[in-house]
Structures are given as structure tokens and as C-alpha cells.
Structure 1
Amino acid sequence: MDILIVEDEPEIARLIQHTLEAEGFSCQISNNGLAALQKFQELQPDLIILDLMIPGLDGLEVCARIRQKPGQKDPYILMLTAKGEELDRIIGLSTGADDYFVKPFSPRELVARVRALLRRSLRQGSQPNQVYQTPHFLVDLDQRIASYQLESGNTETLDLTTLEFNLLSTFLSYPGRVWSRTQLIDKLWGDDFFGDERVVDTHVARLRKKIEPDPSHPTFIKTVTGVGYKFEDAVMGGNG
């Protein structure tokens, strides 16, 4: 597994590198945002550990640019932030990060978090061939393809991150079901989840921007006040 470490403090960067390489990971370091984007193109890593406050382009901008590159490898992104600094901003903005980690941290905690993220890839790769379909959407778990049927009748492939794809798959697997944040966390992260439940809201907001005609007035992913979310389509389809 290849990991790109984007951190401008040499001591922290070396600590992360040595810790993860001791666990068998292959790591490379970039110390600023522009260098990180170039290294991402070259390395195509499985995971990026990305410090929020780096020189040049900050971590949020680097994260957003990586997520905006269609056809590239879709890495997991673990955002690093100083204790109490910008935490709400990371949770609340649709940056594309999969998780966040607060500094200072122990090496053991870092390894656990990295392994938790990468284990998701292994679980997703072992899912059975299954298709979920509703009047406007189709998700093929085996091909990892999600598509949307336009009003013209044409089909458009959705450009989703891994987490967005899994979230949409979860909604389509039980159309009309109300999901609490806790249930979505259990479904998407399982016992590997670390952090704040509000991260679910971030991923829902990101998915809405990609599938809703008007994300501010959702047609498909509805908020159920005091409970969580549910997915509705015009005429409910079943599992394929």
C-alpha cells in the first residue's frame, strides 16, 4: 500500500513515515500543496495523510483538487489538524476528506486509523455482485459504477468518491428506510469509526451536490428531523 504524507513540519513528517514504514507501508513525503499534487499524479497512492495548514495551497484546497480529477485513482484522505484548530471547518465543509485526525497523536493511534481506512477497501472489494436500482439511479457493486437517468432518457455516469458510492449504495439498498447517523456509521465504517457523528452530514452534503437537481431542496436524500436521512425516488425500485 502506497501512502503520501503531506506535512511541512519535518519532525512530524519523519515520525509518520518511520511509524508507517515499520508497519510495512510504502511512504513518500511532500512538504507543500503544489508538490503534493504533483506527487499524487506520479505515485497514485492508496491513502494521503494531509496536513490542513501547509504552505502554498492549504490542505482543503489540495483535497478539493484531488477529488476534482476524474479518472484518477480515488485515494482515501486523512486530514491532520492541530488540537481544536479548524475542526468544525473540516467537518462542515465538503472538502472530500474521508476522515480527520487531531495532533498531537500517538504513533499507535495513527497506525490504527490508517489500517481502519485501508480495511474499507478490502471489504468493498469482496462484496458480491449486486445491482440496486430505482427509477432514476442504478448502482452496480461489482463494477463499482453508479449512474443517473436524465429526463431525456439518457444515462449519466456519476463521478463519486469511494465513500459517496458506498453511501448511495446504502440508500438504494433500502429505499424509503430512515437511517440514523449511527446506523450509517455502522454500515459504512463499522467498528473502524473514529470521530464525530457529524462527519456523516458532510458526506451526505457532498453526495447531494452530485445527485440532486437542487441540493438546497433535496428531492432524493431527505432529512428526517431528529432522526437522520432517507432516500426516496418517484416510484420505488427494488434490489436487483
Structure 2
Amino acid sequence: MDNPDCILIVDDDLEIRRLLVDYLARNGFEAIAARDGREMWQTLERRVVDLIVLDLMLPGTDGLTLCRDLRARQNLANIPVLMLTARGEETDRIIGIEMGADDYLVKPFNPRELLARIKTILRRTRALPPNLRPEPARCLCFAGWCLDTAERLLTAPDGVATPLSGGEYRLLRTLLDHPNRVLNRDQLMELIHGREAEPFDRSIDVQVSRLRQRLRDDSREPQLIKTVRGEGYVLASAVESRSTCP
């Protein structure tokens, strides 16, 4: 029997930690908890974690900083992060996505919705992109850039390699799987997060902006990820599949 996925809950509220650990355990997950960033890092040193549920407001180092620091560590950069925020303000959600969170959920929330979000993130993280045939291609090259799909490393034309967060990888992979094709926000949200975009949800725009920075693409006059006004975004480049990366 396969080992259950391990979910790390990082929240300073004892009742929330107990509730989520118990609820997730009853739904087939192994759930462990940490009350702050220090305990989170200690747990990650000794355990393999499949997903982190990270509260925005924490004592000491806040969740946004922890998420950013997590993405900066190559051995931990690919762990999916679901961020919790007590405020429903758009700014909190945008900043969370900018720091590398894969999704967000506003408190108070229904545990069933949290469970659904976790399952969706894990499924999307592990699933092959739509219509991708099993083939030995490991590297996708475009405009001098190369994406190692096994290591999730993006290598620039000058040879500098950068690990991608889960959200960055899925967005880039989606665009690479549909080169020179305009994808609207709803399509991108469905392909990346498995749900429709909410009204006034700018998370896709933020992820595109973040990915443009990774690609050194001028946001004022982007050459790789172009904005098609009123329609969406398009990767304006041919894509070549290779069995090995340079």
C-alpha cells in the first residue's frame, strides 16, 4: 500500500492545527503541524513533505517571507504551498502568489474546501500536461531558454539555471505545450489550478508577471509572453523537445 501524502500545517492557532490535522488524517493524509517558521524548518529538515498549508499571519517570520525563503532553497523549491489568509483583500492574495504560493484560501474556510484544494494542487503538480504523449523528451527549448521537466530547472541562454516554484512551472509548461496559441485567464486558471477564475482575480496576471521576470522579458514590451488585449496571453516562440538538456 502506498504511503499517504504528508501535509504540513503551519499555523499559530492551536485549534486550527488540531482541527486540520485530525480532518486530513480522517481523509487519508498524514498530517503534521508546526506553530511558526522555526518549527516549519525543523520539520522540513527531518521529514519529506508533499504540501505545506501556510498561514500568512505568523509570530516572528510571516508566511510571505517563509514562502519566499522556501522558493529560494533548491531542495525545497518544488514543494506546493497553499497559503491561508485571515483577510480577503486582493493585495494579500497577489503578494502570496508573487512570493510563490500555488494557491490561497481565505479564513474562515470550510475544511472540505481546503481538502479539495489540497487534492487539486497535488493532482496538478503530479499530472502530465493535457494531451502530452508519453515520450522521452525531458527538455523543452525555446528562444535560447531550456526547461528541464524532470528537475523543473529553467536555464537561461547564458547558462544560469533557476529552480521554479510549482505555480511557475505549471504556467510555463502550459504555455510551452500551447506555443503561439492565445490562452485566456479562465483557461490558464483551469489548467494550472483546476478551478475557474473568481471575479477580479488577478493571480494569473501576477504569475505571468513573475514568470516574465524569470525569463528576463521586459514587462513593458514583452517578447516571449505577450499580452493579447481582451483575450489573454501567448508564448510567442517555437518550442523544441529534446531527450536531454544541454
Calculate percent identity across the aligned residue pairs: 37
Residue 142 (structure 2) aligns with: 134
Residue 27 (structure 1) aligns with: 31
1:47-86 matches, within 5 Å, as: 47-72=51-76, 74-84=78-88, 86=89
Structure 2, unmatched stretches of 5+, are none
Q: What's the C-alpha RMSD, in Å, of the aligned pairs?
A: 2.6
How many residue pairs get matched? 232
TM-score (norm 2): 0.82
In the superposition, relative to structure 1, how do residues 89 and 217 fare at CA in structure 2: closer, same or farther (>3 Å)?
farther
Shift of 1:50: 0.6
Q: Distance in 1 between matches of 2:172 and 2:208?
A: 9
Give the aligned residue type for 1:148. A
Q: Distance in 1 between matches of 2:77 and 2:174?
A: 22
Counterpart check, 1:90 vs 2:110: no
1:95-106 matches, within 5 Å, as: 95-106=99-110
Decide which of 182, 185, 189 is 2:186's aligned counterpart. Answer: 182
Shift of 1:76: 0.8
Classify the secondary structure of the residue corresponding to 1:80.
strand
Q: Distance in 2 between matches of 1:62 and 1:68?
A: 10
Shift of 1:37: 2.5
Residue 37 (structure 1) aligns with: 41
Classify the secondary structure of the residue corresponding to 2:227.
strand
TM-score (norm 1): 0.84
Q: Distance in 1 between matches of 2:241 and 2:78?
A: 26
Shift of 1:215: 4.7
Structure 1, unmatched stretches of 5+, are none
Counterpart check, 1:166 vs 2:174: no
Shift of 1:219: 2.8
Classify the secondary structure of the residue corresponding to 2:147.
strand
Moved over 6 A (4+): none
1:207-218 matches, within 5 Å, as: 207-212=211-216, 214-215=218-219, 217-218=221-222
Shift of 1:185: 1.8
* Structure 1 residues 40-81: Cα deviation after superposition (integer angstroms, max 9, x where no partner): 233231110011111000110111110111133621101111
Classify the secondary structure of the residue corresponding to 2:183.
strand
**1:212/1:219 contact within 8 Å kept:** no
